[in-house]
Chains A and B, each alone.
Chain A
Amino acid sequence: MSVQFLKKLGYGVIALAAFIATSGVIHSLLPPMIPKGIAAKLKFFAEHKDEFDTVIVGTSRLYYSISPELFDQTTRDNGLPTRTFNFGIDGMHPPENFYVLEQILKTKPRKLKWVVLEMGDIQTKWDNILGTQRAVYWHDWPRTALTLKKAFNPRGNANWFIKLTRLWLARRDFISNLALFGKQFANVGRAADFLPSADRERFADAASELGPHGDGYRMAGDAMSPERAAQFEQRLAQEMSEARPKFLDPATEDGYRNSAAQTRQAGAAPFFVVAPVIFQQLPRFRRSPDPAPLVSFNDARKFPQFYDTRVRIDDGHLTNEGAAEFTRLLAQEFARRMRQP
């Protein structure tokens, strides 16, 4: 290698270092980029953080199911009074929920005692939202590392050959997640966040996102059609025949353990819940002890009332009637578990 070549390489390294340093400085100076929907809830929660002692974090399965009013009434009746905020967000799967929980805890809610966190597998594919702010904002390094770990070793038992194969098979996931991390770190398009129109747009539907009672809960829709009900029952039978406990993959387990630790550091207690979805695999932690109590409602044999097609909208969501029953059962179980020393 000639001296001239090394010099040119050195200039490239200087340019890269300057780029990373500048991006890092800008990144540390800018507030987190929180997209529409989540921004409205986070802002409301930050403004009323000391009014709530329980927060529910999850996908639309909790957003449209857990009424804080009913939840609080049930817990009070069961000897554990709570004041709950529903932080459910459409499509907020892990690891996005870990990031959002971190943002919630960063508001330092002094009275927060409990965090109910929905359990689910870490997602690695974002094709349908790729290129949106929603896909970018949570892709910091800890969360990106979890998605890469999941893509690389989804069952936790891969040897080097399987890992190499995965590297090829899941190349699109690797590239898209790394590109999203790059966009997040390099603050791509962040200037637009400071336009007056950006704030207007971000909070345009804040009232409806916070729900009629301002507690983050929105009512669900109607039951599924008879044709869909038939398909659902067929698929449920198939799922039930294959039902078994399932160990979490290492990346997902790490994510939940980390979130539980963060919750405890903030002075609250974590509680994990699996909503009554069609999938009948009951999640288990690989390592013991479990980081927090875990209640799985996705068990059609144990909770047949949630799998009656008259109370279901689709594979993952319940009607108002089903949601009310789910809220009551969850609150009872929550109060029972949390009352224990």
Chain B
Amino acid sequence: MLFVEFRFFWFFLAVFCVYWSLRDNRSRKIWLLLCSYVFYAAWNWKFLFLLMGSSALDYFVGLMLARTKNPGARRGWLILSLCVNLGTIAFFKYYNFFVSSAAVFLAWLGLPASLHTLNIIIPVGVSFYTFHSMSYTIDVYRGKMRAVTSILDVACFIGFFPQMVAGPIVRAAQFLPQLQSLRKFSNADVRGALVLFLVGFVKKACIADGVAPTVDKYFDSPANYTAASAWLAILFYGIQIYCDFSGYTDMAIACARLLGYELTLNFNFPYLARNVAEFWHRWHISLSSWLRDYLYIPVGGNRGNRWFVARNIMITMLLGGLWHGGAWTFVIWGGLHGLALVVHREWQRRVEGRAPSRPLPGVPGSPDATEDVPPRRGPFGWLAWSLTFYWVCFTWIFFRAADLERAGVIAKSFVFWQSPGTHDLGFRMIWIVVLLGVIHQLNGRRVFSSWWRRGSPEVFAAGYGCAFAVVLLFIPPHYAPFIYFQF
């Protein structure tokens, strides 16, 4: 069930009406959990047991961590939780990747081995809900939060349907307190949530799905197309992935807000970034802050000499790339971003003569969430923005390409403007990129942020209905699944 499907509207209407008509918090949570499981089962009911198992295990581990004082035993419980959660991801997402890579490596060593891959279906959202789940046990282990005694709360947190399958990756410490207090409809920002939902719907259904056929056409056979087409397709992919993922996030945040819950910020105009560190403070913030807190800092973070910090950044970004899927293209994508972060740190230290900024953000809303070194402004700011945007687009090649061979062909077209192909995608469509760029820029300056709050509720309601009717004119007949569902 996708947020842009008709059936989701009916589903959410039922969830919303029943939820607010229930008086006590426990009944509401039971209802939410039931609906979340129905939502998840709409894809594949069999994997529901995996989700339930993950929730039950981490609830139990949380309780054991709270009861046990012995550091060794506590570490043991945490390791159990991490092994099961990471083992689940490793099996479903990486088994075939590891096996095929091992076979290639052994063949390279002159030891050909016949290793069998499995026909594995990846459970939707497995990378997201296991990260939710792990944040709970790790935070309890670290003493950042107390273990929750109600399994209903833990199951609701891990399975909450707006954020379960594609994030944002919510921290237990942020979300569980919200679950434990009765939400009031009068406190819910209904108008803001509805506008956010519409914005997300437009991003996903109109823009991302609108440019997707052009992108698919190019990336399927890049060697057939001209270099201008390569540029267009890569720029379109930049638009597609941003609108697809941030559109999903907007709708997820809006749905949660309509039920009285606040989810974490996930995107903050990433394409306005003027350096790659700023990009990571604006792109998929919930993942980058998760990686920072649970991977980058534990492996050393900013402590130690600059080679050690560079190593930490590379480890984090390579694993962050791998998190997206079992393919070398994702590893390279992460590696390229890691490399850019290291180079940026050295640039700040040597050329700008200042302390390097943090490569990854803290949890949104926390004091260390924002970039501590303000990016450049003025003409150099434009140059910095252009270079950053170019680099981000270059890395998208590896993120999207089906294999390394095709990624090489596309990169050559993009960087050297060389392609053997003669087919043209229609470079005239570049106006779409320009138009959306202008909107992104204006929106980044909060031009559209509040005028819709001014009218009376009746006028807003009528305007909203009209706007939705107009928006539907612009959506393609086919819904494409969200890109991040595969991760």
Q: Which of B186, B466, B473, B479 has the most CB of A within 10 A?
A: B473
Residue-wise, chain A 6-38 has the 8 Å CB interface mask toward B (1 for contact) of 011001101111111111001000000000000
Q: Is A248 an interface residue (CB 8 A)?
A: no
Q: Is the CB of A23 within 8 A of B464?
A: no
From A16, A19, A189, contact of B477 by CB (8 A): A189
Chain B 451-468 interface residues, beta-carbon cutoff 8 Å to A = 457-458, 460-466, 468
- How far is B468's CA from A22's CA once the two chains are assembled, in angstroms? 9
Chain A interface size band reads 20 to 34
- How far is B213's CA from A189's CA once the two chains are assembled, in angstroms? 15
Q: Is the CB of A14 within 8 A of B469?
A: no
If the complex has contacts A131-B478, A132-B477, are A186 and B472 also in contact, measured as CB distance less than 8 A? yes
If the complex has contacts A11-B457, A175-B7, are A189 and B475 also in contact, measured as CB distance less than 8 A? yes
Chain A residues with Cβ below 8 Å from B479 are: 131
Residue-wise, chain A 156-196 has the 8 Å CB interface mask toward B (1 for contact) of 00000000000000000001000100110011111110000
Chain B 128-160 interface residues, beta-carbon cutoff 8 Å to A = none
Q: Is A133 an interface residue (CB 8 A)?
A: yes
Minimum CB–CB distance from A3 to chain B (whole Å) comes to 13
Q: Is B447 an interface residue (CB 8 A)?
A: no
Q: Is the CB of B477 within 8 A of A136?
A: yes
Chain B residues with Cβ below 8 Å from A11 are: 457-458, 460-461
Q: Is the CB of A14 within 8 A of B470?
A: no
If the complex has contacts A18-B466, A19-B468, are A190 and B461 also in contact, measured as CB distance less than 8 A? no
Q: Is B476 an interface residue (CB 8 A)?
A: yes
Residue-wise, chain B 244-264 has the 8 Å CB interface mask toward A (1 for contact) of 000000000000000000000
- How far is B461's CA from A17's CA once the two chains are assembled, in angstroms? 9
Q: Is B474 an interface residue (CB 8 A)?
A: yes
Q: Is the CB of A17 within 8 A of B465?
A: yes
Minimum CB–CB distance from A231 to chain B (whole Å) comes to 33
Minimum CB–CB distance from A118 to chain B (whole Å) comes to 27
Q: Is B108 an interface residue (CB 8 A)?
A: no
Minimum CB–CB distance from B325 to chain A (whole Å) comes to 26
Residue-wise, chain B 303-331 has the 8 Å CB interface mask toward A (1 for contact) of 00000000000000000000000000000
**Shortest Cβ distance from A178 into B: residue:** B6
- How far is B462's CA from A132's CA once the two chains are assembled, in angstroms? 30
- How far is B470's CA from A18's CA once the two chains are assembled, in angstroms? 11
With A175-B7, A191-B474 already in contact, 19 other A-B pairs whose C-beta atoms are closer than 8 Å: A11-B460, A15-B465, A18-B461, A18-B465, A19-B465, A19-B466, A21-B465, A21-B466, A23-B469, A23-B472, A26-B470, A131-B477, A131-B478, A182-B6, A183-B6, A186-B469, A186-B472, A187-B472, A189-B472
7 shortest A-B CB distances, which residue pairs? A18-B465, A22-B469, A19-B465, A15-B465, A14-B461, A11-B461, A15-B461
Residues of A that sit less than 8 Å from B by CB: 4, 7-8, 11-12, 14-23, 26, 131-133, 136, 175, 179, 182-183, 186-192
Residues of B that sit less than 8 Å from A by CB: 6-7, 186, 190, 457-458, 460-466, 468-470, 472-479
